[in-house]
Amino acid sequence: MSDILDSLRLGRDVVRAEGEALLALSARLDGSFSSAVEILRECRGRIVTAGMGKSGHIARKMAATFSSTGAPGFFVHPAECSHGDLGGITGDDVVLLLSKSGDTSEVLAMLPYLKRIGARIIAITNTAGSGIARAADVSILLGVGFEACPMDLAPTTSTTAMLAIGDALAIVLMQVRSFTREDFARNHPGGRLGRLLLHVQDLMETEDLPYVTEDVTVREALMAILNHRNRGIVMVTDEAGLLSGVVCDGDLKRLMLRHEHLLELPVREVMTKNPQTIAPGALASEALARMEGRFTSLVVTDNGNRPLGLLHIHDILEARLV
């Protein structure tokens, strides 16, 4: 039991040490951070990240975060740069160099080329007078005193601080560039986050829509329902082509008990007037919320109530929105 308690205490100490380092880093951020954001905002190329070892893992994550939030980025391995990978970096790029010491030899070896092509350099390091700090256009200092490792050896607190700086740069840049939820969805089409931001217009049917005019009979409306993909609904439009109602197969089943000659009645007498509609720019998740437990289809209309499409709950299910 004592071993378990000691493990829990030590685990809390590590988390506490890293948390305190992040709070201190937050208070210590200064104009160098703002300058780095401005350099990134002005970048005409891509954001390139580089680091060795654990710093390299953080650099990879930074590049992925930049890319997913609207600022194309990629990671280069400093050791591979001397063997051709430097050719992927251009003078329009901004290069983020990560190194706790600031004097990692493989990272320092990149500097002559970066200077020669005129790429802007942002250093993220723990040492103000280090090689990359002196060469960079802007240096963001971590100010980490000790690692959470009890021997002060394994990169722990320093890499957590690097990660936080990368996230801060990406999120601030995202807001400066007015990156929207819709932009995020376009960058994440395969993930649940992206699917939650799908719009009605992304899923709605627009071809061969089931609709009839008000003067047709219920029989003709039923034929239109049966001939359209088994969606169980037909839209009814007036002389101007505007939506005036809908007829669902479930409604017809209930009406047959009350009307002996239902199929010969004008459809305007049995249609649901003022049906539920939705705009094409609405979120598909909003459409799902309105459908659940009430109906299976929504008519998509423009501002003038003209039908543009039809959204069925099957379209939402096929998009794996739930």
Q: Does domain 200-318 correspond to CATH entry 3.40.50.2300?
A: no
Instruction: Provide the pLDDT for residue 1.
Output: 53
Instruction: Give per-residue pLDDT as tens, 74-96.
Output: 999 999 988 878 889 999 999 99
Instruction: Provide the pLDDT for residue 146.
Output: 87
Split at pLDDT 50, 70, 90, the class of 288 is: confident
Measured CA to CA, the distance from residue 244 to residue 223 in angstroms comes to: 19
- Does 184 have pLDDT greater than 80? no
Instruction: Provide the pLDDT for residue 20.
Output: 92
- Does 139 have pLDDT greater than 60? yes
Q: Which two tokens stand for residue 50?
A: 């580089």
Measured CA to CA, the distance from residue 10 to residue 148 in angstroms comes to: 10
- Does 259 have pLDDT greater than 80? no
Query: DSSP H helical segments within the chain, as ranges?
Result: 2-28, 31-41, 53-68, 78-81, 105-108, 111-117, 131-135, 157-176, 181-187, 192-196, 200-203, 218-226, 249-255, 284-291, 313-318
- The model carries a pTM of 0.66
| Every domain range in the chain assigned CATH 3.40.50.10490 | 2-179
Sheet of 47-51, strand order: 73-76, 47-51, 94-99, 120-125, 138-141
DSSP string, 142-157: ----S-SSTTS-SSSH
Query: Which contacts of 110-113 are long-range, i.e. CB under 8 A and separated by 24 or more positions?
Result: 110/50, 110/78, 110/81, 110/86, 111/135, 113/81, 113/86, 113/89
Of 185 and 247, the one with more pLDDT: 247
Of 272 and 49, the one with more pLDDT: 49
Angle made by CA atoms 168, 171, 174, in degrees to the nearest 5: 145
| Every domain range in the chain assigned CATH 3.10.580.10 | 200-318
Give the domain 2-179 fold. Answer: Rossmann fold (3.40.50)
Instruction: Give per-residue pLDDT as tens, 55-68.
Output: 999 999 999 999 88
